Each structure stands twice: as C-alpha cells, then as structure tokens.
C-alpha cells in the first residue's frame, strides 16, 4: 500500500483524492500523535492542544479548513485559524503562538484543482518521516472522543498577518528605499502580505496577479510562469521583479533587463552577502544535486564550500540542521535561512535579495552575473522499473563514457522520479549542443533497459 504522505505532506485532487473525510481523519490522528507531545499546558484552554491552521486562497481550501478544524475539535484540540497566509507564516506562527503544531492547506505551485495538507511540529519544524508514519497509523486506530468542556474550540487570529509582517521586517537589515519592484503574487497566499512587506521596507511596489478569487491561483502566473513578470518589469522600468508560488515558500526574480534570476543565482547573491557579514557559518552553502555547476564554480572562487543534498527542501533542511549552517536552497527558488525561519520563505528571500541590491547600489543583473550558468538539458525517460535502471550495466557504461567526454567541464546526473516511473537524465556541458547530444544518447540507453 502506498504511503499517504509524500515528499511535502498529503496532496491530491481536492474533493476526489483529498476529501473532507480524509482531512477530518488526518486532523484527529495528528492530535493523537502531535498533541500528546506537548499538551501539558495550564492556561485558559486547560489541557487542550492548540493548533495553528492556515491556507492558500484555493476554493477547496475553505472545505478542507472546515473539515480539519472539525477533526481537531472532535479530538479535543483548539484550532487557531490564521486565514490566508503563506506556508512559512504558518511555520512562524506555530512557534509564535506557542502552538502544539500547525497545519497548512496548500498545494504550493500545483494547479488550482489540487490541494494539500502539510503539518508542522511545535516550533514550526517539518515532521520527520517516522512522525508522519505515526500519524498515518493513528488514522486506523480508535481515538477517544471528548465530550462537554473537553471538545475543542475554534478561534480566529486577527493579528496573524501583523505578527508575521513584524517578523519579516525584523529579519532584514536596511531599507528598500529608492527601489521600484514588480511583485507577482501568483494570485496566491502572498497576494496581500508580499506587497505589504516590500512596501513597509520602503520599496515602490507594482503588484500583479495579487487578486485571488479562489480559482486563479498559479494560473499562468507566479514563479512557474515568469513571462508576464518579465514584460511588466520592462514596461515599468523597474529595478527588479519578484515572483512567488501559490503558498509563497519560493521566490524567483527578474532583473531590470528582463532576464530570469533563478534560485542558484539568488543563493549565490545571498551567500556572498552573508560571507561578507561573517554570517555564513563555516563558509558553507547547502544546495541540491540539481543546482547548476556554475553555482559551484562561483562559490569555489569566493572561498565558499557547497554541501550537496538530494532533491527536496527536506534534505536541505536536514543538512542545515546537522551542520548548523546558515543558508541553503534549491534552484527552484526555495531558499532557507535558519536564523530567520524554520522553512523556506519566499517573501523573506525577496526582501533579502532586494536589500542586497539597495545596499550595494548595483543592478541585480550585475550581482547575478557572478554565476555563469552552464547549458543544461533535462530529459524525462519513461521506464518500466526506475530502480532497475541504476543497476543496469549498459547505463553505467553510458554514464562513464559521458563523464569522460565532459572531462570536468560539465556533469551528468541520473535521478529516478519520486512519484512516477521516470528517470530524469540531466546533463550540463560547455554548449547547448553538447548537453543535448550527450543527454539524448544516455536517455536512449536508459529507455532500452
């Protein structure tokens, strides 16, 4: 039987795979596992656990929020509803309110019909695999239902956005005064908070795709569709543009020329800033195997070591915690700064990036130019058994030949998909032609296994 929790919570087509009934059962099970860990509180709520509940603006979020809150209350927990806020806001507020755990309802950059449920432990930390497994197991176990005064209550938190905005402001040094920015909110969770945060820091903000109606989230906008942002930056003569995804845990940028500044470039800019300030612990940046070789070369030139993890922000977080490092992230724009938050925060990333532009007086294009991106080719190869590919001698030989051909001037990576019977063949080389040619040859060998 497939595991209910994926790499980022429980996701599926809302009201089909991810139903109200499933959400209710998940909430009750989470109380039995997470509420039992820190439910010795002695205040007005007695011994009832408290749970922060937030969502992005998808229409199905209203349905799932109601079901989750019902499940929490039925299990004897109080729900603190913080409304439409970014995922990192729920992580922060879980700690700030002293809650036992937090729940975010969002499918991030996925299309509107999808939705997801993500849990944060006390303090706003992501759950370990064994804790998710315990919640899943508890869904099949009988859970006692309190009655009378033991039934949980629902509370709205009118100061949630204000608390989060204060946190963002305190996490960034310097003013954005003099900067003109275009901000694409993806009609998502940062549609209000994002522009408010940038304006509070002193920037002139031109907001686009910041009018969510429940169905337009990620629809041709945000960090997965940068063309409109690029055009808007050029139209308004802005200094830069920032794009978030539906739950605003990511940030990508566009410079004043309309060129995309991806997560690798953003990490390089922030790493150099923190390096100069003496804030980059052990002069280490944490990145995944998907980061471009150009990032590694730029960091090596600056005396910064790059620790490499598997794909996924949870692996970045694990390495950050293990080494006590100060900065990590992904090419997709998911950047983590542990001193300022327990998870990736797109608005915080945008603030830090814009502050670097303002403090240096340099164009974003010049700051991003420290990274020379090597041409990259990615081919998704359908296979019958993705795990058998890595063991195939023909594949090993093809990879070995490719590595000799690249001779240190590029790299090749084979990675099985986490959710599909696919193997991703990624090649970086000195030219687009070489990258395409080598990737095609290796992909053909993979397909033949």
Q: Considering Cα of 28, then 33, then 38, then 41, what sign does the dihedral take?
A: positive
Residue 181 pairs with which residues in a beta bridge?
205, 240
Residue 154 pairs with which residues in a beta bridge?
79
Per the CB < 8 A criterion, the answer to whether 175 and 200 are in contact is no
Closest to 327 measured CA to CA, from 380, 254, 377, 278: 278
At 293, list the tokens: 């070789």
Distances in Å between the Cα of 433 and the Cα atoms of 71, 79, 275, 427, 438 are 55, 55, 36, 11, 9
- Neighbour count for residue 181 (Cβ, 10 Å): 26
The owner of tokens 């925060």 is 345
Helices (H), 139-178: 160-170
The answer for residues whose C-beta is within 8 angstroms of residue 318's C-beta and 6 or more apart is: 309
Per the CB < 8 A criterion, the answer to whether 188 and 213 are in contact is no
Choosing from 28, 60, 106, 108, the catalytic residue is 108
Beta-sheet pairing, 284-288 with 328-329:
parallel
Helix (H) or strand (E) holding 84: strand 78-84
User: Quick check: helix, strand or coil at residue 72?
Assistant: helix
Q: What are phi and psi of 181, to 5 degrees?
A: -130, 140
The reply to whether 305 sits in an annotated binding site is no
Closest to 296 measured CA to CA, from 314, 282, 308, 309: 308
Based on the residue annotation, tell me whether 223 is a catalytic residue of this protein: no
The reply to whether 247 sits in an annotated binding site is yes
The reply to whether 133 sits in an annotated binding site is no
Per the CB < 8 A criterion, the answer to whether 74 and 58 are in contact is no
Per the CB < 8 A criterion, the answer to whether 264 and 258 are in contact is no
Rounded-to-integer distance, Cα 426 and Cα 281, Å: 30
The reply to whether 249 sits in an annotated binding site is yes
The owner of tokens 């696919």 is 422
At 63, list the tokens: 């349905």
Binding-site residues for Mg(2+), please?
108, 245, 247, 249
Binding-site residues, please?
108, 245, 247, 249
Active site residues: 108
């Amino acid at each position: 039987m497939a595991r209910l929790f994926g790499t980022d919570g429980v996701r599926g087509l809302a009201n089909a795979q991810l139903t109200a009934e499933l959400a209710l059962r998940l909430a009750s099970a989470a109380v039995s596992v997470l509420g039992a860990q820190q439910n010795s509180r002695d205040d007005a709520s007695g011994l009832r656990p408290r749970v922060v509940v937030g969502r992005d603006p998808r229409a199905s979020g209203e349905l799932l929020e109601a079901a989750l809150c019902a499940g929490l209350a039925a299990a004897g927990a109080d729900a603190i509803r913080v409304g439409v806020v970014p995922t990192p806001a729920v992580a922060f507020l879980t700690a700030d309110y002293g809650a036992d755990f937090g729940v975010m309802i969002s499918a991030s950059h996925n299309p509107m019909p999808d939705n997801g449920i993500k849990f944060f432990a006390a303090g706003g930390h992501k759950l370990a695999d064994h804790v998710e497994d315990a919640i899943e197991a508890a869904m099949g176990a009988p859970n006692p239902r309190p009655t009378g005064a033991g039934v949980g209550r629902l509370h709205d938190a009118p100061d949630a956005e204000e608390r989060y905005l204060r946190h963002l402001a305190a996490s960034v040094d310097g003013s954005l005064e003099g900067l003109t920015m275009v901000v694409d909110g993806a009609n998502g969770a940062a549609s209000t908070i994002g522009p408010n945060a940038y304006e509070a820091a002193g920037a002139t903000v031109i907001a686009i795709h910041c009018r969510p109606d429940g169905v337009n989230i990620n629809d041709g906008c945000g960090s997965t569709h940068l063309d409109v942002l690029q055009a808007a930056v050029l139209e308004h003569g802005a200094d830069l543009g920032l794009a978030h995804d539906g739950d605003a845990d990511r940030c990508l940028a566009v410079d004043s020329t309309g060129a995309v500044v991806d997560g690798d470039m953003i990490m390089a800019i922030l790493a150099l800033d923190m390096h100069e300030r003496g804030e980059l612990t052990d002069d280490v940046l944490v990145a995944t195997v998907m980061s471009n070789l150009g990032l590694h070369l730029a960091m090596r030139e600056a005396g910064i070591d790059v620790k490499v993890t598997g794909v996924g922000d949870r692996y970045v977080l694990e390495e950050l915690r293990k080494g006590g490092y100060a900065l990590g992230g992904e090419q997709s724009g998911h950047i983590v700064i542990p001193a300022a938050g327990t998870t990736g925060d797109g608005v915080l990333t945008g603030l830090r990036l814009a502050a670097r532009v303002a403090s240096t007086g340099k164009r974003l294009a010049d700051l991003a130019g420290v990274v020379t991106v090597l041409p990259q080719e990615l081919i998704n190869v359908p296979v019958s058994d993705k795990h058998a590919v890595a063991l195939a001698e023909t594949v090993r030989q093809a990879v070995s030949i490719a590595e000799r051909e690249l001779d240190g001037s590029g790299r090749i990576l084979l990675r099985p998909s986490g959710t599909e019977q696919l193997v991703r063949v990624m090649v970086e080389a000195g030219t687009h032609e070489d990258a395409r040619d080598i990737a095609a040859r290796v992909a053909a060998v993979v397909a033949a296994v």
